Structure formats: C-alpha cells, structure tokens
A = this chain, B = another copy of it.
Amino acid sequence: MQYPEPIAQLIESYMKLPGIGQKSATRLAFYTLGMDEEDVTGFAQALIAAKRDLQFCSVCGNITEADPCVICQDPSRDQTTILVVEQSKDVMSMENTREYHGLYHVLHGVLSPMDGKGPDDINIASLIKRLQENEVITEVIVATNANAEGEATAMYLARMLKPAGIKVTRLAHGLAVGSDIDYADEMTLIKAVEGRTEL
C-alpha cells in the first residue's frame, strides 16, 4: 500500500535533504500535516524566496541579496585584508565575533583529491583575480577548517599567493577556550605547544 499522493510527494521532498532518510522524512511529513496552515505556507514561501532572491556575491562569493554584498560594498572595512573561508556560514561565524573588520572570500568547498575536487572546482580563480586587481590587499588569512582538506587548501593558497608578495596566514591551532587538556586530541596538544605564547 502507498501513502496518499500528497504525503508521498512530501516525504520524497524531505528525503532530498542531507541526513534525512525515509523514516525521518515520513516523521517530518506527518508532523507537517499537524502544523499551522500559516507556518506551512510560510515554509513553502521561504523555500521559493531563498532560491529566487539570493545569489552569490560576484566579488567575494558570499551569499547575498544585493550584488556586491554588504560587506564588499562597505568602505569602512579594512580593504587590505581578505579572510578566506570554506562556506558562507563561516563568514557569519567570524562576523559574530565582531573582531574582524576586513573583507572575505568564500571558496564554496576545499581541495579534496579523494572527491576529485581540484583548484578549478572551488572559488580560487576569482580570489587570484581579485588580488591582481586590488593592489591594496596585503594579507590573506586562510580560515579553512582544521582538517586534512582545509590544511591542504591552505598550503595550496600559500604556494600560489606568496610569490606575488602577499602575506598568507593561517588561523592558530590550539586548545579551544574553556576546554580540558585531557579531552584534547594529540595533534591539537602538539600544535598548542608549538604555538605557545609568552605570558
């Protein structure tokens, strides 16, 4: 026996989301039936609007309503520094610290030979073009994730950009603030010792 068509369709749609299998999709679909009409309509409209009204900034690649994005358009930001991140979400994380006032560049991925992802598959070409066109930029801070792919991408960028006389830096590795030493993994501890600072 099949579910009635409308709910079968909805289950199928939920299953297209990452990490949601048939059981979860079914649970979500039935939950949706019990939601307020208004919430469901709002959800449907939000899906359409997000897809229709958002685009990637032609300068930095961040997700935006207007092109270029508000950060690229803001003359009060430090125009000499670009912080390179993997995803738009990471821009938000950095912005929420309120401590970084430079520009961004979103790669939309990392180098990952295992997944067949090379330099042409991520947003690197536009970063290089940007550096060539804006001689005021003096530092590129690579803020890719602290895993193998993130490191490889950082190394690749350093090798590409250093010959052009641009300072390429990487976020510090070490203990997370508030964390316990006995929960830290060995590589983190090694990096924390290497990067120790004088008190």
A residues with a Cβ closer than 8 A to B are 1, 3-7, 9-10, 12-14, 16-18, 26-33, 35, 37, 39-54, 63-65, 87-89, 92, 95-96
Contacts and interface: CB of A to CB of B under 8 A. Distances in A.
B6 A33 contact: no
22 contacts: A1-B95, A3-B63, A4-B63, A4-B65, A6-B50, A9-B49, A9-B50, A10-B49, A10-B50, A17-B32, A18-B27, A18-B31, A29-B50, A30-B89, A33-B51, A37-B51, A40-B47, A40-B48, A41-B48, A44-B44, A44-B45, A44-B48
Contacts of A87: 30
A72 B21 CA distance: 30
Tell me how many chains of this kind the complex includes: 2
A9 B46 contact: yes
A53 B32 CA distance: 13
Contacts of A45: 9, 44
A1 B35 CA distance: 30
A27 B30 CA distance: 22
- The 10 tightest CB contacts between A and B, nearest first, are A1-B95, A44-B44, A13-B43, A10-B46, A9-B46, A44-B47, A10-B50, A6-B50, A6-B53, A13-B46
Contacts of A46: 6, 9-10, 12-13
Contacts of A1: 92, 95-96
A7 B88 CA distance: 11
Contacts of A43: 13-14, 16, 44, 47
